[in-house]
């Protein structure tokens, strides 16, 4: 295996870790409330714009922008839950779909109004230069994004499986009425889930903004990636989202290297559809 191909694979793994991070928020919401958030990709887009604004105003990079983006989006997640989701949950599935789709349009066109339609970028040297790791050259921005995303995704899994808060959230996901009889407040747990999910998108958006274009429509692309990642990994499974995100990142990168960047999406989505034909519940999902 050539050193260039190894470098491509490692780069794909780093990108896939970021995919896994913002997709884990989508799978968390589905696992908690059986709601598909069509505004999820636009949450990532907002995180990218927070990072851009922080750099424009203060000249600082993701070490400040990423935590701030996570905080801003977590706050937005709580507002969205109490302002919209709690109400549409009482209605039919169509109301939930149209509600989150309308939210996506509202966020997207608000950014259009505030920032315009131009593509924006952050300086390439905002995080640092290039590191040579065992002969593999890696951009510091991608290395930072991938490592942080991987650690946060693993942390989210541990939060859900190893803490009291996670046990309460899973109890609400299993049976909200029974959880309430045990003294757990479903409203609070669901609001926390939205805060965590939105915060993860904000963090991922701020990290990816260091090497990705920033535009109001980028949420459409990233939203599709999130849905494919969650479907491939299995709805409701954070480890599944992690594995699927890494796979998609590698497939994208290798496809772009071998046959061209224009065709990478064709390869990813073709393999995705073929996989779901044989295992529609995803890698770690349940029938």
CA-nearest of 229, 220, 219 to 268 is 229
Domain residue limits, the chain: 3-278
**DSSP assignment of 62-116, as one string?**
HHHHHHHHHHHHHHHHHHHIIIIIHHHTTS-HHHHHHHHHHHHHHHHHHHHHHH-
Tokens 């709580």 belong to 78
3-278 has CATH 1.20.1070 classification:
no
Whether residue 271 contacts residue 251, with contact meaning beta carbons closer than 8 Å, is answered with yes
pLDDT of 77 above 60: yes
pLDDT band at 16 (very low <50, low <70, confident <90, very high): very high
Q: How far apart are CA 141 and CA 48, in angstroms?
A: 14
Q: What is the pLDDT of residues 20-70, one digit of tens each?
A: 999 999 999 988 888 889 999 999 999 999 999 999 999 888 889 999 999
Here the tokens at position 189 are 């747990």
Check: CB of residue 244 under 8 Å from CB of residue 86.
no
Model pLDDT, residue 1: 56
| Beta strands 136-139 and 130-133, pairing class | antiparallel
pLDDT tens sequence across 215-235: 999 999 999 999 999 999 988
Which of 273, 262, 269 lies closest to 248 in space, CA to CA? 269
Burial class (CB in 10 A: 0-12, 13-18, 19+), 133: exposed
Q: 287 pLDDT band (50/70/90 cuts)?
A: low
Confidence of residue 131 (pLDDT cuts 50, 70, 90): confident
């Amino acid at each position: 295996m050539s050193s260039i191909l190894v470098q491509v694979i490692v780069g794909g793994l780093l990108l896939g870790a970021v995919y896994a991070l913002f997709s884990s928020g989508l799978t968390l919401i589905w696992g908690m409330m059986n709601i598909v958030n069509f505004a999820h990709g636009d949450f990532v887009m907002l995180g990218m714009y927070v990072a851009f604004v922080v750099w424009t105003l203060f000249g600082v990079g993701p070490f400040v922008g990423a935590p701030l983006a996570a905080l801003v989006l977590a706050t937005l997640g709580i507002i969205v839950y109490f302002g919209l989701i709690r109400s549409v949950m009482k209605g039919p599935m169509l109301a939930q779909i149209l509600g989150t789709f309308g939210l996506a349009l509202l966020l997207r066109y608000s950014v259009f109004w505030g920032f315009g339609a131009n593509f924006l970028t952050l300086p390439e040297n905002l995080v640092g230069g290039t590191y040579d790791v065992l002969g593999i050259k890696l951009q510091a921005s991608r290395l930072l994004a991938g490592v942080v995303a991987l650690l946060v995704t693993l942390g989210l899994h541990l939060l859900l499986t190893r803490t009291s808060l996670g046990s309460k959230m899973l109890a609400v996901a299993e049976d909200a009425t029974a959880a309430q009889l045990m003294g757990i407040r479903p409203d609070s747990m669901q609001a926390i889930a939205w805060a965590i999910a939105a915060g993860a998108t904000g963090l991922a958006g701020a990290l990816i903004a260091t090497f990705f274009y920033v535009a109001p429509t980028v949420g459409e692309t990233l939203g599709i990636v999130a849905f494919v990642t969650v479907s491939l990994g299995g709805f409701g499974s954070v480890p599944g989202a992690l594995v699927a995100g890494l796979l998609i990142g590698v497939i994208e990168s290798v496809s772009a290297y071998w046959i061209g960047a224009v065709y990478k999406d064709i390869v990813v989505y073709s393999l995705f559809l073929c996989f779901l034909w044989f295992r529609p519940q995803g890698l770690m999902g349940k029938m």
